[in-house]
């Protein structure tokens, strides 16, 4: 009997060990927690509907939507959902789609689904109709043919903007702004501050490593820094540049960085009679210490800007000129227009009115409030009183006209082409021409750029157009930025891209 019970005990022990062994070899769910300052209401990118404002950036950034073509590390176009294309004439392009791709809804990707998506895009989006100039779309099997009413040499570049993410219009857009895309992830919950994702089990382009991804908006940079240090996130984007040193030499973390065309820049509200005086506009531009801002507050993570594009573009910084920081000349210009400090309070006035500038910005880009403080201090030296309004509800003030200068961060060439910035911000029909800027020569050159296929000539036109903006002093470019992702040292497949919109991919994994 003792031998029998001993045998039973040994058998039970073996079964227990075997059972424990089975539980440890089962697949452990991989969850990636991601904190970012780049999602939220103030960024105009909540939800995943690419046909609404900048929400396409969220769809592509977080692996839900994909475009027909995409950009490589050199910002050159490559096929993505498309297999190839043929330029039939100056107005018509035929795109052939890859086979065996399905939306997360289960519908197959074909020419008809792309046609439906693009037609809804040009019907509802604020920028796309003017960019694409589409007259007709026809579908035949796995091909879609797009005819524009004008020459659009940058058509494929524009279609690679995140607003060009292809979604299933039969599935539509849900009440919580979810869509059915072709990407490696499917959103399960969406709010204005968070997106929860799970892997797409039927993703067309290989296995998806991560089971779930949680994207969470954290507006305050210090809060985001402390959360990363405490291990609440596996990776973060948008840390204050001053915080990067906390992670740079720490073996628990690693950083992926790249130069982008994102620029801190300001638009001047030309509805304000004071700002209609070019001497005042020029004085403001000359009174801002860009070099000091870049050196002291960006900590080497940016370069002072002259124009809209950084120096690595053929139409970038090195090709245009403007007046630099010169507070003495700025004071002289103000005096020429009758702005003098008559009461000795340190601020210039004219006809009993003090020169006050309402500087509007938002906190989501961590350095924008710091830029506002720099401007406030440097313009005080030339006698201009700057009232800073740093708010996540900046759109309300823009809509009401309660601002004089609006500072934001914008990727000026995310499509690898210069036309994007001008059509978005600088023309009479631009969706984001908030300061009501107009220059007839710029309009003429923009029309030429829109029809020019030669890349060298396009660059030459972009240089001339930038110079017009700089000579008018209605746009002030402060600094071009380097983008950095901070992550735990076991994270792989998470790499900063110069386009600024490829983030969560099927390659995301833990070592």
pLDDT above 70 (res 6): no
Q: What is the mean pLDDT of residues 91-114?
A: 98
Minimal CA–CA distance to 179: which of 47, 81, 62? 47
Which residue segments constitute the domains of the chain, with CATH numbers given? 32-252+489-510 (3.40.190.10), 259-483 (3.10.105.10)
Task: Return the HEC string of 80-115.
Answer: CCEEEEEEEECCEEEEEECCCCECCCCCECCHHHHH
| Reported pTM | 0.80
184-221 pLDDT, tens digit each = 999 999 999 999 999 999 999 999 999 999 999 998 88
459-488 pLDDT, tens digit each = 999 999 999 999 999 999 999 988 899 999
Q: How far apart are CA 210 and CA 185, in angstroms?
A: 9
- pLDDT recorded at residue 27: 65
pLDDT above 50 (res 25): no
Task: Give the strands of the sheet with 143-148, arranged side by side.
Answer: 82-89, 92-97, 143-148, 134-140
> How many other CB atoms are there within 10 angstroms of residue 377's CB atom?
12
Q: Of all residues in the chain, what percent carry a pLDDT higher than 70?
A: 95
Q: Is 404 exposed, middle or buried (0-12, 13-18, 19+ CB in 10 A)?
A: buried
Residue spans of alpha helices (H) in 384-487? 394-400, 419-425, 440-451, 455-472
The more confident residue out of 441 and 482 is 441
- pLDDT recorded at residue 17: 38
311-360 pLDDT, tens digit each = 888 899 999 999 999 999 999 999 999 999 999 999 999 999 999 999 99
| Contact of 496 with 257, CB cutoff 8 Å | yes
Q: What tokens were used for 365?
A: 């880009």
């Amino acid at each position: 009997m003792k031998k029998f019970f001993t045998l039973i005990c040994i058998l039970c022990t073996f079964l227990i060990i075997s059972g424990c062994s089975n539980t440890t070899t089962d697949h452990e769910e991989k969850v990636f927690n991601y904190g970012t300052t780049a999602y939220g209401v103030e960024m105009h990118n909540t939800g995943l509907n690419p046909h609404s404002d900048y929400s396409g950036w969220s769809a592509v950034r977080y692996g839900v939507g994909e475009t027909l073509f995409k950009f490589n590390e050199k910002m050159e176009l490559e096929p993505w959902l498309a297999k190839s294309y043929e330029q039939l004439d100056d107005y018509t392009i035929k795109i052939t789609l890859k086979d065996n791709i399905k939306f997360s809804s289960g519908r197959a990707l074909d020419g008809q689904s792309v046609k439906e998506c693009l037609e809804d895009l040009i019907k509802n989006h604020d920028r796309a109709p003017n960019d694409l100039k589409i007259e007709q779309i026809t579908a035949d099997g796995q091909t879609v043919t797009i005819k524009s009413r004008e020459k659009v040499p940058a058509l494929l570049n524009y279609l690679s903007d995140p607003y060009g993410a292809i979604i299933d219009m039969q599935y539509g857009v849900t009440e919580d702004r979810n869509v059915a895309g072709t990407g490696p992830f499917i959103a399960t919950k969406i709010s204005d501050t968070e997106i929860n994702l799970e892997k797409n089990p039927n993703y067309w382009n290989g296995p998806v490593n991560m089971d779930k991804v949680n994207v969470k908006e954290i507006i305050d940079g210090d809060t985001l820094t402390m959360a990363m240090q405490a291990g609440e996130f596996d990776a973060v984007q948008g840390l204050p540049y001053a915080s990067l040193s906390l992670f740079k030499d720490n073996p628990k973390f690693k950083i992926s960085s790249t130069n982008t065309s994102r620029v801190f820049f300001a638009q001047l509200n030309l509805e304000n009679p004071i700002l209609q005086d070019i001497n005042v506009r020029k004085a403001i531009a000359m009174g801002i210490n860009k070099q000091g801002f870049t050196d002291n507050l960006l900590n080497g993570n940016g370069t002072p800007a002259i124009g809209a594009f950084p120096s690595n573009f053929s139409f970038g910084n090195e090709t245009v000129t403007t007046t630099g920081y010169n507070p003495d000349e700025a004071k002289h210009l103000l005096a020429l227009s009758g702005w003098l400090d008559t009461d000795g309070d340190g601020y210039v006035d004219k006809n009993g009115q003090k020169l006050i500038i309402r500087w509007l910005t938002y906190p989501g880009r961590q350095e924008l409030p710091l830029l506002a403080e720099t401007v406030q201090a440097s313009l005080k030296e030339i006698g201009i009183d700057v009232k800073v309004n740093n708010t996540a509800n900046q759109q309300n003030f823009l809509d009401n006209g309660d601002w004089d200068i609006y500072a934001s961060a914008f990727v000026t060439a995310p499509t690898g082409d210069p036309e994007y910035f001008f059509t978005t911000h600088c023309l009479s029909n631009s969706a984001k021409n908030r300061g009501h800027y107009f220059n007839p020569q710029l309009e003429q050159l923009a029309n030429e750029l829109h029809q020019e296929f030669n890349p060298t000539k396009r660059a030459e036109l972009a240089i001339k157009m930038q110079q017009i903006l700089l000579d008018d002093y209605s746009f002030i470019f402060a600094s071009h930025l380097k983008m950095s992702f901070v992550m735990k040292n076991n994270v792989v497949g998470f790499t900063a891209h110069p386009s600024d919109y490829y983030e969560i991919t099927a390659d995301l994994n833990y070592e």
